Structure 1
């Protein structure tokens, strides 16, 4: 499938369902480890943020993004620092610093339009978000968002107060 055919497919899904989901496969190479992530495309046309989730199996990421998409269709409006439980995951949403550098297919679909995006950050099995973990795990769930200043890791990696 050519890039243009792929973009046409994404546009078709957006017109039929309201959004599309793009999954980016994880990789390990000489330059490092790159965990998988998935994101929505389609909410931008309604002046709403796209949603990204990283570090989850593709099927689960699709489930989370589709449930969020259905919620958005019913009036859910996501804003930074909202907590929700979706598909059994405790999620916290923060804005992605440079969405155009991460959501490449969304950028190709929307070309010159400003893209806003939130990352759906999930808590681990003990209920801790990455900034609350004793040893932060950047490999399992890389953060594409900027943490509020009160949550930046200090040298001892203390959780926020």
Structure 2
């Protein structure tokens, strides 16, 4: 377990882990500690600049700390200018692949995780049939069972 994460959770209530883009996939960031401190789901975000995602997840964490709930299927208009985001419940079968620091912190799943899903420039989300293809690989659809990543238009 990363000592920095534990100290951040102790002092702030949560920490944000940033994973840079590499040959295996897009960069992503996720919280550790929201469930421990506030009994609020952890949050994950993919495909944008990792420092921007860090800032956005901290903004959501600040809201949680002041009593603003985050929940599955919630549409938020207060995170990215001119575009809503939708919070989707992550299927637990994805946890080991993406959330190692959280698993180390909590010792084991389950703890809830919501994926913060952003739209394409036309305001369409990955489950929309006309979602811009160049963005599909930037955001894995973690709300789907890992073997069912094909037909997103019927998954919302």
TM-score normalized by structure 2?
Answer: 0.82
**Does 2:141 correspond to 1:143?**
yes
Q: How many residues are treated as equivalent by the alignment?
A: 145
Of the three residues 43, 51, 54, the one matched with 1:62 is 54
CA offset digits 1:64-120 (Å, max 9, x no partner): 101100100111111111000204242101111025322110100110353110000
Root mean square deviation of aligned Cα: 2.3
Residues 19, 28 of structure 2: 8 Å contact kept = yes
Counterpart-to-counterpart distance in 2, 1:153 and 1:77: 30
- Secondary structure of the 1:63 match is helix
* Structure 2 residue runs without a partner (length 5+): none
Counterpart-to-counterpart distance in 2, 1:143 and 1:96: 8
Give the aligned partner of residue 91 of structure 1.
Answer: 85
Counterpart-to-counterpart distance in 2, 1:125 and 1:87: 12
Cα distance change on mapping 1:159 and 1:113 into 2, 3 Å: closer
- Secondary structure of the 1:80 match is coil
Moved more, 137-146 or 45-54: 137-146
**Does 2:15 correspond to 1:17?**
no
Counterpart-to-counterpart distance in 2, 1:158 and 1:70: 33
- Secondary structure of the 1:67 match is helix
TM-score normalized by structure 1?
Answer: 0.80
Counterpart-to-counterpart distance in 2, 1:15 and 1:55: 28
Moved more, 12-21 or 128-137: 128-137
**Does 2:128 correspond to 1:132?**
yes
Counterpart-to-counterpart distance in 2, 1:113 and 1:127: 33
Counterpart-to-counterpart distance in 1, 2:11 and 2:31: 14
Could you say which structure has the larger radius of gyration?
A: 1
* Structure 1 residue runs without a partner (length 5+): none
